Amino acid sequence: MSHVQNIKAASAVCYGRHEPDTRSPLIRKLEAFVFLSRQDRTALEQLSAGARLVEPRTDLQRDGEMATDAVLVLDGFACRYKHRVTGDRQILAYLLPGDLCDVDAPHLGRMDHAVGTLSTCLVARISRETLATLMAQQPTVARALRLAKLAEEATAREWLVNLGTRSAAERMSHLFCELLTRLEAVGLAEDDGCKLPITQLDLADTLGLSSVHVNRTLQELRSRGLVELRGRSLKLRDLPSVRALAEFSPAYLRPAH
């Protein structure tokens, strides 16, 4: 089965067949922040038009180039990242289905980091004109996007705490809790588990660890009965314990609540 088919199957599961909720992930996400009118939703639906499948490990915005338009992820995992001249990579943020990134690209000059896919992704590019019109005509949507941005900033702060103060197992648990919570919000998680279409090397570059140590830590969490990661699917076997280990509290993902 090809990547493309994989993705289509996954989407089918998420958006329609088993799930009565047919809202797009972007709308689901924003409706966690604000109440959207029918027009708001219609306007948002239109952003998905022209979405395209993108191969894994493909840049969506290159470091150092002008940011032209915003990127909307509809399926798959993407990330912001930076490369050091040594070749090291640090992942700065995950872009999950429903995430609309670089809303204020227009202000921006050159990108100070890159954006790229981790897995195969379904993404739509939104021109700055489209975005400007949307923000002007649907103030509620504009407000929701601002709140989403605040959540992104709060997440960056959590990551700083993660990298600066937590042990490997704690860091990893925290990341898993965060991803699970965010995916739940867009209907892509159930039963304390979700798809995690990324490699251990990606995890390493997220957590500031070596891939060997990511592996070790994963085994440790598994043997403690906390977390299982097999194939590309993640399951938190003992959510309360994982949360406690990570000192995870989801409040930062819901600003102004």
> Taking contact as CB under 7 A, which single stretch among the options 8-16, 47-55, 126-134, 166-174 is the one that binds DNA?
166-174
Find, among 4, 32, 20, the residue nearest to 184 by Cα: 32
Sheet containing strand 70-75, strands side by side: 52-54, 121-126, 70-75, 100-101
- CA 192/CA 177 separation, integer angstroms: 9
Contact of residue 104 among its own copies, DNA, none (CB under 5-8 Å per partner type) = its own copies
Q: Which two tokens stand for residue 97?
A: 């289905």
Residues making up the chain, counted from first to last: 257
Q: Where do we find the tokens 């997440």?
A: 155
Cβ contacts of 199 within 8 Å, gap of 6 or more: none
> Taking contact as CB under 7 A, which single stretch among the options 44-52, 93-101, 202-210, 240-248 is the one that binds DNA?
202-210
Q: Counting contacts by CB under 7 A, is residue 200 touching DNA?
A: yes
Contact of residue 84 among DNA, its own copies, none (CB under 5-8 Å per partner type) = its own copies
Q: Counting contacts by CB under 7 A, is residue 227 touching DNA?
A: no
Contact of residue 210 among its own copies, DNA, none (CB under 5-8 Å per partner type) = DNA
CA distances from 253 to 55, 108, 250, 256 (A): 28, 24, 6, 10
CB 116 within 8 A of CB 81: yes
Contact of residue 4 among its own copies, DNA, none (CB under 5-8 Å per partner type) = none
Identified binder of its own copies from the candidate list 14, 121, 123, 147, rule CB under 8 A: 147
Give min distance, CB of 3 to DNA, in A. Answer: 7
- CA 8/CA 118 separation, integer angstroms: 17
Say whether 125 sits in a helix, a strand or coil. Answer: strand
Contact of residue 150 among its own copies, DNA, none (CB under 5-8 Å per partner type) = its own copies
Binding residues with its own copies: total (CB under 8 A): 38
Task: Answer positive or negative: Cα dihedral of 99, 120, 202, 185.
Answer: positive
Binding mask 172-211 for its own copies (x = CB under 8 A): ---------------------------------x-xx---
Q: Where do we find the tokens 């990324």?
A: 198
> Taking contact as CB under 8 A, which single stretch among the options 36-44, 176-184, 211-219, 249-257 is the one that binds its own copies?
249-257
Interface positions with its own copies (CB under 8 A) = 80, 82, 84-86, 88-90, 92, 104, 107-110, 112-113, 146-147, 150, 153-154, 156-157, 159-161, 163-165, 205, 207-208, 247, 251-252, 255-257
Interface positions with DNA (CB under 7 A) = 1-2, 167-169, 199-201, 208-213, 215-219, 230
